[in-house]
Amino acid sequence: MIVDAVLTGMPGVSFNEFEEAHILVWAPEAENVQLLLVDSGKKLVLNKETYGYWLLETNELKPGDLYQFQLNDDVIVSDPASLSQPKGIHGPSKAVDVKNFNWTDRDWQNTVLSQYIIYELHAGTFTPEGTFTSIESKLDYLVNLGITAIEIMPVSQFAGSRNWGYDGVFPYCVQDSYGGVRGLQSLVNASHEKGLAVILDVVYNHMGPEGNILAELGPYFTENYHTPWGDALNFDDEWSDAVRQFFVENALMWFRDFHIDGLRMDAVHAIKDFSPVHLLEEIRNRTDELTRQTGKTHYLIVEMDLNDTRFIKPVQEGGYGMDGQWIDEFHHALRVSSGQQRSGYYSDFEPITSLAKSYADAYVYDGIYSEHRKRKFGVKADGFPGQQFVVFSQNHDHIGNRMLGERTSQLVSFEMQKLLAGAVMISPYVPLLFMGEEWGETNPFQYFVSHTDPELAEAVRKGRKQEFAAFHLEGDAPDPMSEETFNASKLQWELLQKEPHRTLLEYYKKLINLRKIEPALANTNRDDLNVQAFPEKELIVMGRISAEQHVVAILNFSRSVQETSFPADKGIWKKLIASSDEQWNGERTLSEQIDSGVVLVAPESFTVYANAINS
């Protein structure tokens, strides 16, 4: 990392307390760089610094002004670290004083990670309006649901106004159609006032295909590696110091200037870096420095297609120091246990036994042979606490990457939906909900983009069709370019007033509250868990233990009544919840308490009893 004092801090445009602009851009191969003030046409020359940087301090650029950079007297580009693109990705950048916001959350302290109950949402489809302001109007709803952290899918500027967010090309810029810089800052501030932490999904493994200007400024990419989405970012080749700084400072910006509580870093297995200090470790170290300065805790959570504990191991133990990771394997095992199709990568997972293994071991593939991968895969996750793993029954990927984008509500019965929700909440891991699942949203969440390049748009359509060939699906996927596809993916808030959606929502509230108040369920110590799998019965019996309480959960994935027994020497067992109860639109209300003996549980049901230790 470059340490020269003149080059530290955020790239792009920043302002001091006197509204003097500090402008820093990296263009190592340029002969000259000028700042072009769009409205006046005036050009200001930047000074060449070391390592390929260009610097200017001026009072002629003011917040709100439109500007661009001109390289070598001919190439005109936007600011790669632009904070605002009011005319879209192909237009000029707008100067923003990101620090000029009236924060009222100075007393806010991040929630302990083990107490996170995450709600993933997409800013464009969570509400009819599709803006940060409209999300603010739903914060009370999320608090009442029991959520403790919202996770926002990527908001960096992309082409048009419709995109999942993973095609962003300005990593520092907040999508203008959502509300831009001020809209996001206001949402975070309001969330903290309501007691909600905010996680932001960021993409450091690739750049989007349209409007990507980084290569015009310098060697931001390397030909040494490739990702599924194109050339890899240059994190360990020649000139990589500046590229690393660009993304490290981006992570710090979200924490420092937007008060974001945690980053969910997309597909970090596609970050190609063989440096002695991995990019993620560098982000960890710099984040810790910021925490020492501010006293604010910030979490780093990764998505990765690797069962590799090096990512979540502390830096002092030779790891990258990430606070947590998503485990897709839990989802896959849960999906096949619910009777859904075992095709594609789901073919590696056995109903019931794979799920029981994920409960016990986090990773299903922890050094054993994977038929789908045709090799041994993963390492054991022994010793890593439950709060380092995020689990879910659905998320944006596993819905939207289906050809038709069907949600779980369209794939399984109402009873199975309740069972899947319970399966997530009973785990010793951090639970995540995807927007609308709590009321059984019936609209799909489909893949959508709004590229303006016709050839690129057609390539996306063809790519989607090829992607589903591996799943042997017939028919055509919805057109990702169509506005109808986007609108069809919006939540239907009016369903909250209808059955069975209203009952399912109350059921989710009950589950979340139990997770919070019952000591054994709030416990993320993986050693305080025992799990038994009965694949012939399609049944899992799980014990959760704390110093105060013993809980037993019965997960019946079969379509038949199943029986199980409770230990006779534990005293009275009191019911915490049974999804089959009439209260939850079920057909079999179980006893409020039992002392021992056989208990019959309904088909496709989730049942939990507890007793106090030493009672």
User: In 417-558, which ranges are E strands?
Assistant: 430-434, 529-534, 539-545, 549-556
Q: What is the largest CA-CA distance in the chain?
A: 85
**pLDDT of 7 above 90:** no
58 shares its domain with 145: no
Measured CA to CA in angstroms, residue 355 lies from 74, 205, 335, 364 at distances of 59, 30, 9, 8
How many structural domains is the chain composed of?
3
pLDDT at res. 281: 98
Which pTM value belongs to this model? Answer: 0.96
| Tens of pLDDT, residues 263-296 | 999 999 999 999 999 999 999 999 999 999 999 9
173 shares its domain with 285: yes
358 shares its domain with 213: yes
Residue 247 tokens read as 């993304």
Query: Residue 207: phi, psi to the nearest 5?
Result: -120, 155
Per-residue H/E/C for 104-160: CCCCCCCCCHHHCCEEEECCCCCCCCCCHHHHHCCHHHHHHHCCCEEEECCCEECCC
> What CATH number should be reported for the domain holding residue 203?
3.20.20.80
For residues 27-43, give the mean pLDDT.
97
Residue listed under structure tokens 């989007």: 208
pLDDT at res. 2: 47
Q: Is residue 101 part of a domain?
A: no
**pLDDT of 27 above 60:** yes
Query: Which of 458, 476, 510 corresponds to the end of one domain?
Result: 510
> What CATH number should be reported for the domain holding residue 588?
2.60.40.1180
Q: Is residue 560 part of a domain?
A: yes
534 shares its domain with 414: no
Among residues 303, 397, 538, 604, the one annotated as catalytic is 303
d(CA 583, CA 534): 28
336 shares its domain with 294: yes
**pLDDT of 22 above 50:** yes
The boundaries of the domain holding residue 485 are 113-510
For residues 536-564, give the mean pLDDT.
96
| Tens of pLDDT, residues 108-140 | 999 999 999 999 999 999 999 999 999 999 999
Residue 260 tokens read as 């974001």
578 shares its domain with 506: no
Enumerate residues 6+ apart whose C-beta is below 8 A from 257.
98, 99, 185
Q: Is residue 238 part of a domain?
A: yes
Q: Is residue 355 part of a domain?
A: yes
Task: For residue 249, indicate whether it is catalytic.
Answer: no
Residue 604 tokens read as 């496709």
86 shares its domain with 133: no
129 shares its domain with 12: no
The number of helices, as runs of H, and strands, as runs of E, in the chain is 14, 31
Query: Which of 94, 124, 159 corresponds to the end of one domain?
Result: 94
Average pLDDT value for the chain = 94
pLDDT at res. 231: 84
Residue 7's SS3 state is helix
Query: Residue 519: phi, psi to the nearest 5?
Result: -55, -40
335 shares its domain with 243: yes
d(CA 116, CA 430): 6
Parallel/antiparallel/unpaired status of strands 221-227 and 230-233: antiparallel
pLDDT at res. 581: 97
For residues 133-160, give the mean pLDDT.
98
Residue 400's SS3 state is helix
**pLDDT of 43 above 90:** yes
pLDDT at res. 470: 55
Residue 482 tokens read as 């169509």
Among residues 241, 266, 273, 281, the one annotated as catalytic is 266
- pLDDT more than 70, % of the chain: 97
Q: Is residue 445 part of a domain?
A: yes
Report the amino acid identity of residue 573.
W
Parallel/antiparallel/unpaired status of strands 118-121 and 230-233: unpaired
| Tens of pLDDT, residues 343-373 | 888 999 999 999 999 999 999 999 999 999 9
Q: Is residue 103 part of a domain?
A: no
pLDDT at res. 457: 79
> What CATH number should be reported for the domain holding residue 17?
2.60.40.10
252 shares its domain with 215: yes
266 shares its domain with 351: yes
Task: For residue 303, indicate whether it is catalytic.
Answer: yes
Q: How many CB atoms lie within 10 A of CB 13?
A: 28
Query: Which of 510, 542, 560 corresponds to the end of one domain?
Result: 510
| Tens of pLDDT, residues 570-585 | 788 999 999 999 999 9
| Tens of pLDDT, residues 382-391 | 999 999 999 9
Q: Is residue 518 part of a domain?
A: no
Q: How confident is the model at residue 1 (pLDDT cuts 50, 70, 90)?
A: very low
| Tens of pLDDT, residues 199-220 | 999 999 999 999 999 999 999 9
118 shares its domain with 76: no
Q: Is residue 105 part of a domain?
A: no
d(CA 367, CA 373): 12
| Tens of pLDDT, residues 172-191 | 999 999 999 999 999 999 99
> Exposure of 187 by Cβ count < 10 A (0-12 exposed, 13-18 middle, 19+ buried)?
buried
